[in-house]
Structure 1
Amino acid sequence: MTLASSCFFDPTRGRTLVKVLPGEYYVTAGQELIGTTLGSCVCACLWDGEAGVGGLNHFMLPEAKGGLGPLSQANRYGTHAMESLVNGLLALGARRDRLQAKLFGGGQIYGEGRIGDQNIAFVEAFVAKEGIRVLARSLGGQQARKVLFEPCDGRAWVKHLRKLANDTLVLREDQLARQLAIKEDGKVELFR
């Protein structure tokens, strides 16, 4: 079960690596690795070690403003990305009470925006409400992050990026800041 558009064989690790882009998620019971690169966006790495399933999402904003449009657009928002990830894992045999999490991202890498802070508040409220135990977090700060996740056993690696290889992440952050109106109060309403 997937909504990730890019995968390739990583010869240094001898395995398939699935790259999750903004608005995507990926769940698996297989042996592939899952990776993403984050600025103000957040990813949640969730897994059920007993069932041997896990997944990762990558969302840009806590909630949608107005109509949702196609699924790929809906998953840009935390409310839908988290539900898609949890439901995808349950469909593969995970149990909600065994889910564990590692949370990454929410950096302020562009301007004065509070997008990262709002994404962090959302994801922490979501896992708390759902009773998902968080084993690690690397949230906030001023740097982008590259995340690599081992979905079947929950191992994760994060690399703080002091310098970006290109300006794609900064351009995406700029586009978000210009195109999307963000709630200033940071309140997020969760649904089940």
Structure 2
Amino acid sequence: MSEKLIDIFLMPGDYFVGDGQYRVRTLLGSCVSITLWHPALRIGAMSHFLLPGHGRRKHDRPADKPGMYGADAMQLMMDGMAQHGVPLAQCQGKIFGGGAMFPRSAKVRDIGMQNGDYARSMLQEHGIHVVSESLFGEGHRQLIFTIRNGEVLSRQVPPEPAWSKEEA
């Protein structure tokens, strides 16, 4: 019989760092999640950020959403992994999200695409090997990250057609 896992649900702006007793879940639209996982130590981290870049001013970083910006979320995850003695260069990175919640324009890079591109550049900048990604497309994603084995289940849900009012 396997040990029961403790479920954590990330809201936008949240992040989590923990060991193999945790399973982390979230829902993403245009937001992006990065997972970091150390295979030997079985310690992982997951973010759910809303915007690329970082909150430059104190009021840009609400206390209840410290990981609202990608760079802030990444720093919080790296600090948490360091507290567990995890060498970042040995971690596996995965990136998810950046979906289009509205029809995409060929002329404008929407926030989902900006978030996904920013996540890629952050992992590259920190020397973290990206082993998989599921980015962009239409609709939202459901994610489940089981830290024990590093597995991330991702399910993309296409947008529902707009409601129409029937005439009587």
TM-score scaled by structure 2?
0.83
Q: What is the aligned-residue identity percentage?
A: 30
Q: Which residue of 1 is the match for residue 163 of structure 2?
A: none
Q: Which residue of 2 is the match for residue 161 of structure 1?
A: 157
- What is the CA deviation profile of residues 136-155 of structure 1, one whole-angstrom value per residue up to 9, with x for unaligned ones? 10000112000000123311
Question: 1:48 aligned to 12, 21, 38, which one?
Answer: 38
Is the CA contact 2:14–2:66 (under 8 Å) kept in the aligned structure 1? Answer: no
Question: 2: CA distance between counterparts of 1:133 and 1:157?
Answer: 19
- What is the CA deviation profile of residues 80-101 of structure 1, one whole-angstrom value per residue up to 9, with x for unaligned ones? 0011011111111211111111
The alpha-carbon distance between structure 1 residues 115 and 51, as it changes in their structure 2 partners (threshold 3 A), is same
Q: CA deviation at 1:29?
A: 1.5
Which is richer in helix?
A: 1
Is the CA contact 2:55–2:72 (under 8 Å) kept in the aligned structure 1? Answer: no
Is the CA contact 1:41–1:60 (under 8 Å) kept in the aligned structure 2? Answer: yes
Question: 2:142 aligned to 139, 142, 146, which one?
Answer: 146
The alpha-carbon distance between structure 1 residues 83 and 66, as it changes in their structure 2 partners (threshold 3 A), is closer
Question: 2: CA distance between counterparts of 1:31 and 1:65?
Answer: 32
Q: Which residue of 2 is the match for residue 72 of structure 1?
A: 64
Question: 2: CA distance between counterparts of 1:99 and 1:43?
Answer: 15
* Secondary structure class of the residue paired with 1:72: coil
Two-structure CA RMSD over aligned residues (Å): 2.0
1:120 matches 2:116: yes
**Is the radius of gyration larger for structure 1 or structure 2?**
2
Which range is displaced more, 119-128 or 144-153?
144-153
* Secondary structure class of the residue paired with 2:8: strand
TM-score scaled by structure 1?
0.73
Equivalent pairs, count? 152
Is the CA contact 1:48–1:152 (under 8 Å) kept in the aligned structure 2? Answer: no
Is the CA contact 1:37–1:144 (under 8 Å) kept in the aligned structure 2? Answer: yes
Q: CA deviation at 1:107?
A: 0.5
Listed as ranges, the gaps of 5+ residues in structure 1 are 1-12, 165-192
The alpha-carbon distance between structure 1 residues 126 and 84, as it changes in their structure 2 partners (threshold 3 A), is same
Question: 2: CA distance between counterparts of 1:26 and 1:73?
Answer: 12
Q: Which residue of 2 is the match for residue 63 of structure 1?
A: 53
Is the CA contact 1:149–1:156 (under 8 Å) kept in the aligned structure 2? Answer: yes
* Secondary structure class of the residue paired with 1:124: helix
Amino acid at match of 1:108: A
